[in-house]
Structure 1
Amino acid sequence: MILRSVSKNVRDQNWFAVGLDFAIVVLGVFLGIQLGNWNEARSERERYAAALDQLAEEIEANREIVAQYRSDYAEPLERVRHALDALSTCAVMAEAEAAVDAGLQAIRGTPGFYPQISAIRDLTEDDALKRLQAPKERRQIQDLRRLIERVDEGSNFVENLPFRNPIEDHPMVGYAGATEDERTRSGFVRRLALNAPLEEACRDEALIEAFYLWERVGGFALRLAAIADETLDTSEAELGF
């Protein structure tokens, strides 16, 4: 329609009308582009708001993960310390033997951390989302990712330590018989047991060092949990969640 009008006005040499048609075309193109930009900007703002909501949910989920991580280490750490006390006294008593037995089950592995970081990654890697962040907010989100990843790296290191020198490989450690309930239980792992008298085991330096190593590992894991909690608290306050 516009093209037909322009052609007619050119033939009639109605230059004012030609100029008006041209202005209408330019204005239409401009408004079309501007409307597309507005829609894109609105879509990005909505996506950014959704990403922030997801980050707030992720922080709460990670609080629960940290709480579970702390719990997974706190109780075994107590068992390991009781076992060390029993080994240090070399007392041949049923109570001491039970403490060492419980400690053996604790030092055979270490729990993992596994935080949720999908929203953190989106907000620190997506250029469109990063453009909508104020400099201070961008730094706060980047700090959150950096610290959570450092805790995750530390927990991965801790988690792999027992598998470098498994306590099962120690010559004084064997496997205990399984009860019927343990045999049928999902995820069954056979218990460990000393295959040497306690008065002999308590003088074995390698065995005692294995317990001391796990005690250090457990203490370090609890420190990681404290750092994670502090990071989540700080980020939640700074970001206004």
Structure 2
Amino acid sequence: MILRRLTQHIEDQNWFAVALDFLIVVVGVLLAIQVANWNERRQDQSAYNDSVIRLVEELRVNDRHAKIAKDVTIDGLKAVNAAANSLKACQTGPEVLESINDGLNEIQTVIALELRFEAIAALTTDPRLIAQQSEDMRQLFNDINRLSTRLDQWASIVQNIMNNMAHERHALISYEPLEMNNLDTIVTTGVFQSYFRKRELDVPLTEACKDPTLLGLFAEWEVGTTYIILQINMYREHLAGWLETLGYPLENAS
């Protein structure tokens, strides 16, 4: 309709009307662009807010996973420490033997630390989400991504080292028999732990305590495990601060 009227005004040489119609068209186009831009900014802001909420949940999940990994590993560290101390002191007796065998089986396990990165990855790589961030928030998200990634990488490295070390053969260690009902359990119930043959000393305690390489197995596991526990502690301290900054304090952060 505007175009038809504009054409008529040109034919009538009504230049004022032509200018007015042209102005109406221009204003209409500009308003449409402004509305489209406003709608796009609103959608980007909504997407950003949703991403921050997802990050908060992701950090809370990571904190729970880190705490579980730490607690389980501390329990294992106590068992290994008791076994190493008994071996170092050349103690003997059925309880000592059981403690050392428990320690030998404990060092076959490694920390299962699983961190999530989906939300923080989006906030540090998506241009639309980055455009919504202040300089302080951009720095915060980069710190979260950097420290979370570093912990995950270091945990993987230590896990691989400890895993290779734990499964090395040792001359003084043998394996208990594996009964068929254990194999039936893994097939029928999926209890994977039942599949493993348990380690046990293959020599008397008085002979085992004289071999420094056996004590070394415990000591190296303790070093790797303690290092990761310290890293988890530092990460969880940072994580509590991040959530505080985002306005979602972490509850029960022990």
Relative to the length of structure 1, the TM-score reads 0.94
- Listed as ranges, the matches of 1:35-184 within 5 Å are 35-179=35-179, 182-183=182-183, 184=185
Displacement of 1:236 in angstroms is: 1.0
Displacement of 1:128 in angstroms is: 1.2
Moved more, 67-76 or 108-117: 108-117
Q: State the SS of the aligned residue for 2:174.
A: strand
Are 1:112 and 1:156, in contact at CA under 8 Å, matched by a contact in 2? no
Give the residue type in structure 1 aligned to 2:46. Answer: E
Displacement of 1:179 in angstroms is: 5.0
Alpha-carbon separation, structure 2, partners of 1:127 and 1:172: 58
Aligned to 2:245: 238
Identical aligned residues as a percent: 32
Displacement of 1:54 in angstroms is: 0.6
Are 2:111 and 2:225, in contact at CA under 8 Å, matched by a contact in 1? no
Moved more, 193-202 or 103-112: 193-202
Are 1:151 and 1:227, in contact at CA under 8 Å, matched by a contact in 2? no
Displacement of 1:33 in angstroms is: 1.0
Q: How many residues align?
A: 241
Give the residue type in structure 2 aligned to 1:100. Answer: I
Give the residue type in structure 2 aligned to 1:205. Answer: P
1:198 counterpart (199, 205, 216): 205
Are 1:45 and 1:132, in contact at CA under 8 Å, matched by a contact in 2? yes
Aligned to 2:234: 227
CA 1:174–1:168: 2 relative to 1, 3 Å: farther
Alpha-carbon separation, structure 2, partners of 1:132 and 1:176: 60
Aligned to 1:207: 214
Displacement of 1:166 in angstroms is: 3.6
Give the residue type in structure 1 aligned to 2:205. Answer: L
Are 2:80 and 2:218, in contact at CA under 8 Å, matched by a contact in 1? yes
Give the residue type in structure 2 aligned to 1:116. Answer: R
Moved more, 163-172 or 1-10: 163-172
Q: State the SS of the aligned residue for 1:193.
A: strand
Q: State the SS of the aligned residue for 1:177.
A: coil
Relative to the length of structure 2, the TM-score reads 0.90
Alpha-carbon separation, structure 1, partners of 2:72 and 2:154: 16
RMSD (Å) for aligned C-alpha atoms: 1.5
Alpha-carbon separation, structure 2, partners of 1:224 and 1:181: 40
Alpha-carbon separation, structure 2, partners of 1:227 and 1:152: 13
